[in-house]
Amino acid sequence: MHTIRLICDVAGLRSFSHAAEKHGITQSAASQRVSQLERRLGVTLLDRSVRPLELTEAGKEFIKGCRELLERYDQLEQRISRLRPEAGDPAGEVRVDAIYSAGIDLLNQVRESFEDKYPKVRVLVEYKRPEQVYGAVQAQRCDVGILSFPKRWKQVGVIPLRNEPMAVVTAADHVLAGRSVVQAGELGDWPLLTFEPGLPAGRSIRKYLREQGVEPTIAAVFDNVDTIKSAVAVSQEQYAILPKRTVMREVFLGTLAATDLQPGLVRPMGIIFHRPTHGRSWKRCGLDSMNESVPTGAFAPTVQLFVDHLLNMAGPGVDLVAAMEQDVRVVARA
């Protein structure tokens, strides 16, 4: 199952390095495991000649079957775990679906910290597009979802997680680099690299700029933060508006610059969960920013522990930008 989960993550993230990071192994080890699987099957699953990686036709069929297999296996494992005698300690699984830019490093830290605290609990994190996260929550294929600009869809409740400050991101030698603040009204002079208009972040950025009197010239659109960062890094004219937290490593390494944006713009992050339409009592959860309620018993006890842990590590009041800066400095000194 480990190799199956790995190849699914490589396909989902379209990157060996990101999948390897998620699984706590080296990029070389991840590549070798997938190559061994391809040799055993006698087919090529990934087209490595393009960036980001793409699935071959055989790969698409294989990944589809693997995801169905993993879903059935996880459901079976969860059913069996409920049959174990109560031992007093939390046990079982917590299934989390998240958008790619929720932060692989951050969620890995949360997962590892939680599993250290509750060694009988396994946290499974899958990275997907926003609409896929909503679909998984609605269909109860996961326990919670983590995404930006959360909406209350039918049978979906929202718990605010945090508001992430956005910044103007450019190449390190861009004319805007080195400034302390950029006024949004100035940005009409440069072409914008941004998210696809179908993504909430893409719509929010366009709306924000137009409200500031800027009709953005869109140079290119992408579906993930990493590709935007790569495109910005090699351009002396183009810029992007991204969550500042997501670019701190590149800023520290000198490949990108992040400049504060005025007026400020934030990316709201939220935890979404399946909410029945009737039949449960409700209680206030004490989070006023989105005025949400959580039903009593909405989460299994183990899932509730994880949600509380996530809020403590990455929720309101936690300065993730400062934490990321500290982490980057520690790694650089090591």
Q: Using 50, 70 and 90 to split pLDDT, how confident is the model at 59? A: very high
In angstroms, the CA 4 to CA 321 distance is 34
In angstroms, the CA 28 to CA 252 distance is 25
DSSP string, 261-312: EES--EEEEEEEEE--SSS--EEE-S-TTTT-EEETT-S-HHHHHHHHHHHH
Lowest-confidence range among 18-32, 137-151, 221-235? Answer: 18-32
Q: Is the pLDDT of residue 68 over 60?
A: yes
What are 88-145's pLDDT values in tens digits?
678 889 999 999 888 888 899 999 999 999 988 999 999 988 889 999 998 889 999 9
More confident residue, 223 or 242: 242
Query: What was the pLDDT predicted at 298?
Result: 65
pTM of the model as a whole: 0.67
Average per-residue pLDDT in the chain? Answer: 84
Tokens of 165: 């400050």
Domains (range + CATH), the chain: 1-83 (1.10.10.10), 92-334 (3.40.190.290)
What are 305-333's pLDDT values in tens digits?
999 999 998 887 666 655 455 444 444 44
Q: Using 50, 70 and 90 to split pLDDT, how confident is the model at 284? A: very low
Helix (H) or strand (E) holding 199: none
E strands in the chain: 46-47, 54-55, 92-99, 121-128, 144-148, 156-171, 181-183, 192-195, 218-222, 240-243, 256-262, 266-274, 282-284, 293-295
Query: What was the pLDDT predicted at 271?
Result: 94
Q: Is the pLDDT of residue 288 over 80?
A: no
Q: Calculate the CA dihedral of residues 178, 181, 184, 186 and round it to 10 degrees.
A: -50
CB atoms within 10 A of CB 266: 14
What are 152-186's pLDDT values in tens digits?
777 788 999 999 999 999 999 999 998 999 999 99
What are 72-84's pLDDT values in tens digits?
887 887 777 666 6
Cβ within 8 Å of residue 210, ≥6 positions away: 216
More confident residue, 277 or 130: 130
Residue type, 182: V
What are 292-308's pLDDT values in tens digits?
445 555 678 899 999 99
In angstroms, the CA 133 to CA 50 distance is 27
Tokens of 32: 């070798």
Q: Is the pLDDT of residue 2 over 50?
A: yes
Query: What was the pLDDT predicted at 291?
Result: 43
More confident residue, 77 or 68: 68
